[in-house]
């Protein structure tokens, strides 16, 4: 626990309040996201990858970014989008995880492209929806991606349309798919957009990390998957995400590798109530590229978890703002995007010297629209600005009766002549 000072500045008032800022493990954030890459920090990782992007899951804050808008084939990270659509069907009640499905011939492993990663689907088999999702998450089965697509839509082509429609709805303009497994070099995304999708995916399906992505091994086909006299033996496979063995807090998400893109990884880890997402793309190495991408992801996740901390400043009390010529004499200001009890993410290096400064005008001329910016609340550490919030009126204030407008106008002019006070600004000029 530490204390900080807050300064309230207006033309007529200057006073100091004492505010206590508490460290909190986690509280849902009401703050708009912040890009921290423009703030000087004592340590910032360097990465041996074509592209990388790191987000705080709760706030959406950008913690690290390197060449994040480079368009790259996602490879098998594509399967995360395929899983999302299947899980949406489960969420809507149109599918259940224990539903048994037959395997269409186009999803047989022998029909997959050369050098495919496989779940080993085949004839005379049946699998649950849960099996297919594990086949996508753990073994990265291209055959499982085809089976999942045909489970949802009559054709793979219609499923691809749905994938791209979903990306459009999320505003991910540089993310497009031509097939559901990630095998094609013509699928495309960026580290920035895929990190945003991964954040959305975890928000929509918080159980998925535990149920699918943090599962280290998978055997298929098991006895219950065999029908019509099939006597195949189960094939034991380990999760393709090496990070799960390198970082105890890591619990996802998805690897991807094809020649054109190199080694990719969408990764996530949680510690002390915070979760961080890192997307690493385009790792290339003569040897052990799989290990290298996991090590890069681990460094970025550790940086995100230890390099930033959540603090809880108490929202300052703001005095009413006088409304000249208004239907109401005063309007109460409010801090846009701030609520007490909400966490505020700051770099750990700045967390011990956090101050809250408030600058607000003391009067404004009517009418007052709700979007008029009456001032700002600024969170600083030393000379470094960490966060800035607009101060807005709690509600609109209309013009007052003619006699009040006239009286206030005369009073303002007299004060300007004899006291040198400035004329209050028109509220309409303060709308951003």
- Is residue 342 over pLDDT 90? no
410: confidence class by pLDDT, cuts 50, 70, 90:
confident
Burial of 331 (0-12, 13-18, 19+ CB in 10 A): buried
Residues 6+ apart with CB under 8 A from 207: none
- Is residue 408 over pLDDT 80? no
Q: Do 101 and 226 sit in the same domain of this protein?
A: yes
pLDDT at 400: 81
How does the average pLDDT of the chain come out, rounded? Answer: 89
Angle at 140 between CA 231 and CA 281, to 5 degrees: 165
The structure tokens listed for 136 are: 């996508």
What is the mean predicted confidence (pLDDT) over 275-287?
94
CA atoms within 13 A on the CB side of 104: 16
CATH of the domain at 17: 2.60.410.10
Among 254, 270, 294, which residue terminates a domain?
A: 254
pLDDT at 100: 97
Q: What is the pLDDT of residues 116-148, one digit of tens each?
A: 999 999 999 999 999 999 999 999 999 999 999
CA distance 394 to 369: 10
- Tell whether 80 is covered by a domain: yes
Q: What is the pLDDT of residues 359-371, one digit of tens each?
A: 999 899 889 898 8
Q: Do 119 and 230 sit in the same domain of this protein?
A: yes
Nearest Cα neighbor of 214 from 202, 197, 222, 230 is 202
- Decide: 17 and 316 in contact? Cβ < 8 Å: yes
pLDDT at 341: 58
Among 254, 271, 302, which residue terminates a domain?
A: 254
The structure tokens listed for 234 are: 């189960």
Greatest CA span in the chain, whole angstroms? 102
Nearest Cα neighbor of 160 from 178, 175, 148 is 178
- Is residue 23 over pLDDT 60? no
Q: Do 328 and 424 sit in the same domain of this protein?
A: yes
As a whole-number percent, the residues of the chain with pLDDT over 70 amount to 90
Q: Do 198 and 136 sit in the same domain of this protein?
A: yes
Q: Do 222 and 102 sit in the same domain of this protein?
A: yes
- Tell whether 266 is covered by a domain: no
DSSP-H helix ranges across 205-273: 208, 243-246
Q: Do 104 and 181 sit in the same domain of this protein?
A: yes
Tell me the residue range of the domain where 125 lies: 70-254
Q: Do 12 and 145 sit in the same domain of this protein?
A: no
Q: Do 174 and 323 sit in the same domain of this protein?
A: no
- Tell whether 291 is covered by a domain: no
- Tell whether 61 is covered by a domain: no
Nearest Cα neighbor of 202 from 278, 134, 277 is 277
Q: What is the pLDDT of residues 139-177, one digit of tens each?
A: 999 999 999 999 999 999 999 999 999 999 999 999 999
CA distance 305 to 270: 8
The structure tokens listed for 344 are: 């505020």
DSSP-H helix ranges across 307-399: none
Tracing tokens 């699918």 back to the chain, one arrives at 212
- Tell whether 298 is covered by a domain: no
CA distance 337 to 123: 56
Q: What is the pLDDT of residues 189-218, one digit of tens each?
A: 999 999 999 999 999 999 999 999 999 999
- Tell whether 267 is covered by a domain: no
pLDDT at 366: 86
**How many structural domains are present in the chain?**
2
Q: Do 85 and 202 sit in the same domain of this protein?
A: yes
- Is residue 21 over pLDDT 50? no
Q: What percent of the residues of the chain are helix, what percent strand, and what percent coil, each to the nearest 5?
A: 30, 30, 40
């Amino acid at each position: 626990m530490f204390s900080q000072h807050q300064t309230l500045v207006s033309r007529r008032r200057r006073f100091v309040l004492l505010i206590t800022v508490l460290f909190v493990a986690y509280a849902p954030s009401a703050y708009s996201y912040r890009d921290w890459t423009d703030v000087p920090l004592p340590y910032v990782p360097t990465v041996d990858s074509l592209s990388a992007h790191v987000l705080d899951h709760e706030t959406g804050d950008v913690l690290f970014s390197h060449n994040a808008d480079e368009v790259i084939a996602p490879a098998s990270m594509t399967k995360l989008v395929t899983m999302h659509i299947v899980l949406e069907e489960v969420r809507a009640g149109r599918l259940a995880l224990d539903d048994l499905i037959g395997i269409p011939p186009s999803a047989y492993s022998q029909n997959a492209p050369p050098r495919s990663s496989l779940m080993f689907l085949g004839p005379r088999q049946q699998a649950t929806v849960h099996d297919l999702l594990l086949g996508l998450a753990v073994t990265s089965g291209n055959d499982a991606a085809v089976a999942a697509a045909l489970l949802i839509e009559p054709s793979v082509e219609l499923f691809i349309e749905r994938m791209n429609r979903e990306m459009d709805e999320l505003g991910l303009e540089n993310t497009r798919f031509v097939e559901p497994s990630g095998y094609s070099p013509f699928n495309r995304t960026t580290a920035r957009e895929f990190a945003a999708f991964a954040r959305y995916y975890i928000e929509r399906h918080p159980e998925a990390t535990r149920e699918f992505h943090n599962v280290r091994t998978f055997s298929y086909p098991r006895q219950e998957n065999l029908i019509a006299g099939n006597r195949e033996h189960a094939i034991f496979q380990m999760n393709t995400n090496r990070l799960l063995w390198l970082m105890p807090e890591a619990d996802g998400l998805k690897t991807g590798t094809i020649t054109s893109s190199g080694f990719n990884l969408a990764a996530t880890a949680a510690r002390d109530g915070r979760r961080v997402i890192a997307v690493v793309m385009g790792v290339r190495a003569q040897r052990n590229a799989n290990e290298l991408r996991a090590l890069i992801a681990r460094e970025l996740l550790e940086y995100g978890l230890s390099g930033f901390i959540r603090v809880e400043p108490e929202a300052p009390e703001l005095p009413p703002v006088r409304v000249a010529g208004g239907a109401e004499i005063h309007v109460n200001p409010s801090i846009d995007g701030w609520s007490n009890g909400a966490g505020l993410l700051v770099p750990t290096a700045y967390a011990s010297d956090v101050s809250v400064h408030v600058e607000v005008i003391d009067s404004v001329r009517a009418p007052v629209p709700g979007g008029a910016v009456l001032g700002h609340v600024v969170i600083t550490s030393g000379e470094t600005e960490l966060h800035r919030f607009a101060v807005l009126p709690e509600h609109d204030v209309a013009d007052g009766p003619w006699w009040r407008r006239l009286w206030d106008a005369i009073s303002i002019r007299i004060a300007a002549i004899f006291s040198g006070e400035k004329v209050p600004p028109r509220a309409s000029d303060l709308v951003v």
